[in-house]
Amino acid sequence: MKPKVHFRTIKDQSYQEVWDLQTKIHKDLIDNKLKKRSLPIDQQKIKNQLNELIFCEHLPVYTLGKSGSMENLLLRPDKINGDKIEFFKINRGGDITYHGPGQITGYPIFDLDEFFTDVHLYVRKIEDVIIKYLEIHNLCGIRLPKYTGVWLAPDNSFDKYRKICAIGVHLSRWVSMHGFAFNVNTDLSYFDKIIPCGIIDNDKTVTSLRKETGKTMNIDHVSHELGKIFSEVFDFDIKVN
């Protein structure tokens, strides 16, 4: 039996609201897992039905991962609110990034005991989802050694490696939270106020689907297609409200 995943999209909620929701779902999954272990062996094989896949368009916010450095925030902390941008230190991996309108921030909250217990494979599969989606637009997403996420290679139009999707996750008892940030119609000027992901290499920058294609995308349509690809790559049954 395939795992079952509830898929939903959220717009115009604060980062704190969505983080609180993530945390509750994450805790519920862990609690459910621990309860199952107290059941007879034959009943423990029943699949969880609490896995969630949430896609958000956040209000403007910078988030700093647990291994990140405040030096990569180029704004003074006391100036952030003046620019109407929130800032959070959070418990995912990675350094600093931006979330905001036009970007799909994805939160797979999965009990990986139902999928596979390999964190590296988990991250690679998230990358696979984005790479497969980019193929729809005739874009070739790639991985770069030592740089998690999905990139586009230098070409005739751009002379740098461009990061189009950042990834930062957190796992506890093999239950995942946080996830990825896919730049669709993102206002890339927000990245000028940080050193994205702490990467200072001169041959690397950030990009968006709109910048690469010259077209403004329908976010709802992108979310729908991305959700379908997620279900194929991770091999789960998708449930939508």
Q: Which residues form the catalytic set?
A: 197
Domain ranges of the chain: 4-234
Q: Is the pLDDT of residue 109 over 60?
A: yes
Kindly report, residue by residue over 146-192, the tens digit of the pLDDT.
Answer: 999 999 999 988 999 999 999 999 999 999 999 999 999 999 999 99
Task: Please name which of 220, 111, 126 lies closest in space to residue 180, comparing C-alpha atoms.
Answer: 126
In which band, very low, low, confident or very high, does the pLDDT at 227 lie, cut at 50, 70 and 90?
very high
Q: Supply the pTM of this predicted model.
A: 0.92
CATH number of 4-234: 3.30.930.10
CB 167 within 8 A of CB 199: no
Q: Return the pLDDT at 77.
A: 67
In which band, very low, low, confident or very high, does the pLDDT at 67 lie, cut at 50, 70 and 90?
confident
CB 217 within 8 A of CB 209: yes
**Which conformational region is residue 236 in: left (phi greater than 0), alpha (psi within -120 to 50 degrees), or beta?**
beta
Name the least confident of 29-33, 35-39, 46-50, 163-167: 46-50
In which band, very low, low, confident or very high, does the pLDDT at 46 lie, cut at 50, 70 and 90?
low
